[in-house]
Amino acid sequence: MLSRRRVLHRLLTAGAALTVPSFAVPVLPSVSGRAVAAEPEADWPLLLSSARGPDGKDYAVGWHPEGGILWRQPLPARAHGPALSPDGRVAAFPGRRPGSTVLLVDPEDGRRLALWQAPEDRSFQGHAAFTADGRLLYTTEVRADASAADGETGVLGVWDVASGHRLGEVSTHGIEPHEIRRMADGVTLVVANGGILTSPETRRVKLNLGAMDTSLVYLDSRDGRLLEQVRPPESLQRVSLRHLAETPDGAMLVAGQYQGNPADAVPLLARHRRGEALSWVPVPGETVAALKQYCGSIGALADGRFVVTSPPGGLALHGQADGSGETRQIARPDVCGLAVDGARVLLTTGFGEVLTLSPQGQVDLLARETVQWDNHALFA
């Protein structure tokens, strides 16, 4: 993590960081410039995310409570989930699906390090993960494949970080891979195959909702070997597994998005331990309905709790990952970005808000920036 001392050093020595042009967000006409609602109560790390201005342009952003937006780096197109190298020296911003670029920056000052282009007939799916030594970056991708039954296949692009060379790819054993995580063991990669076939022209029009094939896949990062694959039961075939978080005890939390009848009440949160079936986290029916069948980001806290966001539902859920105890609803319009560091949690919204979430489930407005935060956030 970038310490408060290093962040403040940047504030003092890099004057350009203090003159970041502000955006105006039309949907919040009452906001003029940056509003600070509360003093930070802890030594927060730097927050990495992407954001959009009213000019329609997208930026990779570094933010801190004591300086606001410290830097912004233009993106060629909208990004999605940032990834950070283990040594904290490189941050990757993969393009939102169907993405064509990955931007690499220095997280301390936002300096552009590289811009990678997707190979022909490949598109980035918005997430990436570094290997434990930081030498390689795995990117979730879709590959057009006329020989495949569905016309496309899911792969992980394997990139050499130092040179920017693409070394090859490995199969995700499914279609439409979305989020990827490197587990705490340093070796295992976990991939959520969303299972949705999309239009080759737009990559957004869904074609196979009646025959989705979503799955959770474990791969060996050293050779790409398949270690395990698990699917939801047939009755939950249309729950697209998309976002991931590892709990302190080594289980995976999985957040889904339902592609069926809007009136259906289906579980969207699952827990998985290697060698077992998916275990669905019990959530009250009224809370399931409030999610509007969409989970955006999920995080696992050090004490066994989870946080999951739903921008369509305008809320976050906060509860125990094992299903015990109360699951709280936290109403906040267009909340999606989520960063977790032990017990510390920051949430971001499309209205420029940066929010703290206490262990007791209390939400406080830490600051409001004149940007529209994107779907995911990460501490550096």
**Whole-number Å distance between alpha carbons of 206 and 204:** 6
Angle at 258 between CA 256 and CA 260, to 5 degrees: 165
pLDDT in tens, 28-68: 332 334 676 666 666 889 999 999 988 889 999 999 999 99
The residue among 353 and 41 whose pLDDT is bigger is 353
Report yes or no: 216 and 241 within 8 Å, Cβ to Cβ.
yes
CA neighbor of 371 nearest in space, from 134, 10, 33: 33
> Cis ω on the peptide bond leading into residue 267 (within 30° of 0)?
no
CA-to-CA separations, 319 to 47, 248, 284, 301, 307, in angstroms, rounded: 23, 15, 11, 10, 7
Domain residue ranges in the chain: 1-73+336-354+366-380, 76-231
Burial of 133 per CB tally in 10 Å (0-12, 13-18, 19+): exposed
**What is the fold, at CATH topology level, of the domain defined by 76-231?**
Methylamine Dehydrogenase; Chain H (2.130.10)
Write out the two tokens for 82: 């940032």
Contact criterion met (CB below 8 Å) for 83 and 94: yes
18, amino acid identity: L
Q: Is the pLDDT of residue 23 over 60?
A: no
Residue 11 has pLDDT above 60, yes or no: no
Question: CA 297, CA 339: separation in Å to the nearest integer?
Answer: 9
Distance from C-alpha of 182 to C-alpha of 130, rounded to nearest angstrom:
7
Per-position DSSP letters for 331-373, written without gaps between them: E-TTEEEEEEETTEEEEEETTSEEEEE-TTS-EEEEEE-SSEE
* Measured distance between the N- and C-terminal CA atoms of the chain, rounded to whole angstroms: 5
**What percent of the chain stands above pLDDT 70?**
83
Which is more confidently placed, 219 or 26? 219
In the predicted model, what is the mean pLDDT of residues 304-315? 96
Residue 135 has pLDDT above 50, yes or no: yes
pLDDT by residue (tens digit) across 164-187?
999 999 999 999 999 999 999 999
Q: What is the pLDDT of residues 217-251, one digit of tens each?
A: 999 999 999 999 999 999 999 999 999 999 999 99
Rounded to an integer, the average pLDDT of 116-139 is 96
Amino acid at residue number 266:
V
Reported as half-sphere exposure (CB side, CA atoms, 13 A), residue 65 has a value of 20
This prediction's pTM: 0.90
